[in-house]
């Protein structure tokens, strides 16, 4: 979050007071101490008893000064000056002979820059800029810094020079981004005509900041996960620092060597080359279902990642409810569906991806699968959330029969169940399944399971045919009031999907196991982001989404029954046990499927 202008001005005035030797607030430079390299563990777990900076050495920076002195003291964001091939600071020169990079806050403050090496915030790629790989004199001038730090070039992921204008303050902050905890931050003052006018402070908190000596050639490392700020109190002189970020080990991939005048598209956390635009099609993933099994929470967790861009609406329904039958060609249908995402913007940013969560897709495979094959014929990543099916059914019934919500929400839920009890809807779905031939093993009246019939029927062509008939007859559009029980037959729903797409495209998660608590959630999201092929993040808001409190409808109907005829409390137990007995063989098939495909075993324990 950007620091308000008023606060920056206040901090600037306080810094000038700390710089004034005649002031009672004067802040002298702390004594230099070489604590060696600051371990990265100090960034992951900051502590007041660990040094926030370390003096790593002193070098002669004359060679660098000779290269970068020309034009360093000009604010190119305000002053229009002629470019020169020898003035590496000039934006026009950089655009022609190097590659332009935007650093929004620094640009706003008028800070000049010469970028030599840079990486995205997730350390997916490291880019070597033309000024670096085409200028032997620059590499030779920087080498003494690498030598004093005992570094190889392959460890450097960011290397640039920054020119801070007079009377400018970079406010107190700590750096953010996944790169921070994986890299060391080093500063080297290069051109500092009046070091007494520079207030560079670092510390674990605002009350314990120390001023660091910024005389030319001082090589020092800071813990940039802690608080730090810098003020150039001079009224005349700019201040130039070389800034270096490096990793403990050589970067895992060869650097991307950029060509002069190449264009990069940027987001806050990513860098994207023009030559890569369009290489990642839209969308990249879909959460298929199941409804009321945690899909909203999963989508919210996924889209907290800076590389995952939310769709224009979470449930696009572009492949079922909003499918446009009037469009006759595949390309027209694809363009229609892609209107539900930020497709044009994402075209330039191949590092970013997007997707949606439409939980009706899992059950409506008859319509959705062929449409995906037609309009999105690339290897999408699919997520499927499952939940104990009785609890899932009660949650769905609570949602679609609730009268609380916007007009659009009420319309989407449908009215088909509003005047029916939970158990009436259960019986209705059982009857639909029975009529389609899906339940030869189940006595609907008595709730008796025939294991022998199930053994012959389970996984057979007859079951597939009966399932297809059910989908054709009883999966309508534009309402959420259907499939109370069949949405909980997870293996049966997955069967069509796994016959069509490679299993590697799927990740199946269990609400009670994978989103149960903070620890399991963080582990789950690491798996989820790996499934998308992107690095994980450490900061995550774990608040569950789209939850509602409701009394068990089985219990509620039991209370009504007891009031009517004084019946004992066994009614609810009998109904719940009925549903558990019904779902148990289907759950066992899901368990086997999940173990087979390394999604982790899980069993919902039914006691009867």
Q: Is 402 annotated as a binding residue?
A: no
DSSP string, 569-602: THHHHHHHHHHHHHHHHHHHHHHHHHHHTTS---
DSSP-based three-state secondary structure for 515 = coil
Give the bridge partners for 310, in sequence order: 355
| Pairing outcome for strands 239-246 and 506-510 | unpaired
Q: Quick one: tokens of 226?
A: 């802690």
H or E segment at 57?
strand 53-58
Alpha carbons 142 and 64: distance in angstroms, whole number = 7
Query: Is 539 annotated as a binding-site member?
Result: no
Q: Can you list the pairs that 511-517 forms with residues at least 24 positions away whose Cβ atoms lie under 8 Å?
A: 511/293, 511/294, 511/385, 511/386, 511/387, 511/388, 512/387, 512/388, 512/602, 512/604, 513/600, 513/602, 515/294, 515/297, 515/298, 515/544
Q: Catalytic residue positions? A: 292
Q: Tell me the C-alpha distance between 186 and 242, whole Å.
A: 8
- CA separation for the pair 483, 486 (Å, rounded): 5
Contacts by residues 516-522 (CB-CB < 8 Å, ≥ 24 positions apart): 518/542, 521/301
What is the enclosing helix (H) or strand (E) of 480?
none
Distance, in Å, from the CA atom of 245 to the CA atom of 240, rounded to the nearest integer, reads: 16
If we measure between CA atoms, which residue out of 255, 252, 212 comes closest to residue 56?
212
Going by C-alpha positions, the residue among 174, 169, 158, 167 that lies closest to residue 242 is 158
d(CA 26, CA 130): 43
What are the residues whose beta carbons fall under 8 Å from the beta carbon of 140, sequence distance 6 or more? Answer: 63
CA dihedral 23, 27, 31, 34 (to 10 degrees): -160
DSSP helix/strand/coil, 391: helix
Residues flagged as binding site: 387, 395
Residues flagged as binding site for 3'-phosphoadenylyl sulfate: 387, 395
């Amino acid at each position: 979050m950007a620091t308000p202008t008023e606060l920056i001005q206040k901090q600037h005035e306080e810094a000038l007071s700390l710089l004034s030797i005649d002031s009672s607030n004067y802040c002298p430079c702390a004594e230099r101490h070489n604590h060696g390299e600051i371990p990265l563990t100090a960034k992951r777990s900051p502590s007041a008893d660990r040094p926030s900076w370390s003096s790593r050495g002193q070098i002669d920076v004359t060679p660098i000064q000779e290269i970068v002195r020309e034009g360093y003291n000009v604010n190119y964001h305000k002053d229009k000056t002629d470019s020169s091939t020898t003035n590496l600071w000039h934006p026009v020169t950089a655009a022609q002979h190097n590659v332009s990079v935007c650093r929004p806050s620094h640009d706003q403050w008028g800070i000049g820059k010469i970028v030599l090496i840079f990486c995205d915030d997730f350390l997916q790629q490291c880019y070597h800029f033309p000024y670096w790989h085409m200028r032997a004199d620059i590499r030779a001038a920087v080498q003494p810094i690498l030598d004093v730090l005992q570094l190889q070039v392959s460890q450097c992921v960011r290397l640039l020079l920054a020119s801070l204008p007079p009377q400018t303050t970079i406010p107190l902050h700590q750096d953010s981004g996944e790169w921070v905890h994986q890299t060391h931050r080093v500063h080297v003052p290069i051109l500092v005509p009046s070091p007494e006018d520079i207030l560079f402070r670092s510390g674990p908190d605002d009350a314990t900041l120390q001023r660091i000596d910024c005389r030319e050639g001082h090589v020092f490392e800071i813990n940039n996960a802690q608080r730090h700020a810098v003020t150039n109190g001079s009224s005349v002189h700019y201040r130039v620092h070389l800034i270096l970020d490096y990793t403990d080990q050589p970067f895992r991939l060869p650097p991307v060597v950029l060509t002069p005048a190449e264009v990069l598209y940027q987001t806050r956390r990513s860098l994207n080359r023009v030559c890569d635009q369009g290489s990642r099609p839209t969308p990249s993933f879909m959460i298929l279902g199941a409804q009321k099994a945690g899909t909203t929470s999963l989508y919210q967790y996924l889209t907290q990642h800076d590389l995952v861009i939310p769709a224009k609406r979470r449930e696009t329904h572009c492949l079922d409810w909003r499918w446009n039958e009037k469009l006759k060609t595949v390309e027209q249908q694809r363009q229609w569906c892609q209107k539900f995402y930020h497709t044009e913007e994402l075209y330039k940013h191949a590092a970013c991806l997007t997707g949606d969560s439409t939980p009706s897709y899992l059950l409506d495979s008859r319509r959705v699968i062929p449409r995906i094959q037609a309009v999105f014929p690339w290897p999408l990543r699919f997520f499927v959330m499952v939940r104990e099916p009785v609890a899932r059914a009660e949650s769905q019934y609570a949602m679609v029969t609730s009268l609380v919500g916007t007009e659009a929400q009420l319309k989407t839920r449908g009215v088909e169940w509003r005047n029916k009890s939970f158990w009436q809807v259960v019986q209705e779905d059982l009857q639909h399944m029975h009529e389609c031939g899906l339940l030869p093993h189940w006595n609907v009246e008595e709730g008796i399971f025939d294991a022998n019939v199930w053994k012959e029927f389970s996984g057979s062509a007859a079951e597939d045919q009966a399932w297809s008939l059910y989908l054709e007859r009883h999966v309508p559009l534009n309402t959420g009031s259907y499939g109370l029980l069949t949405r909980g037959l997870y293996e049966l729903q997955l069967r069509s999907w796994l016959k069509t797409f490679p299993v590697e495209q799927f990740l199946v998660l269990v609400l009670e196991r994978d989103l149960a608590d903070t620890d399991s959630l963080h582990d789950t999201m690491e798996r989820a982001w790996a499934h998308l092929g992107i690095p994980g993040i450490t900061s995550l808001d774990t608040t569950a989404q789209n939850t509602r409190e409701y009394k068990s409808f089985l219990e509620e109907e039991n209370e009504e029954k007891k009031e009517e005829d004084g019946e004992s409390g066994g009614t609810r137990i009998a109904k719940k046990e009925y549903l558990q007995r019904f779902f148990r063989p289907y759950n066992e098939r899901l368990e086997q499927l999940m173990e087979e495909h390394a999604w982790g075993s899980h069993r919902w324990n039914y006691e009867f």
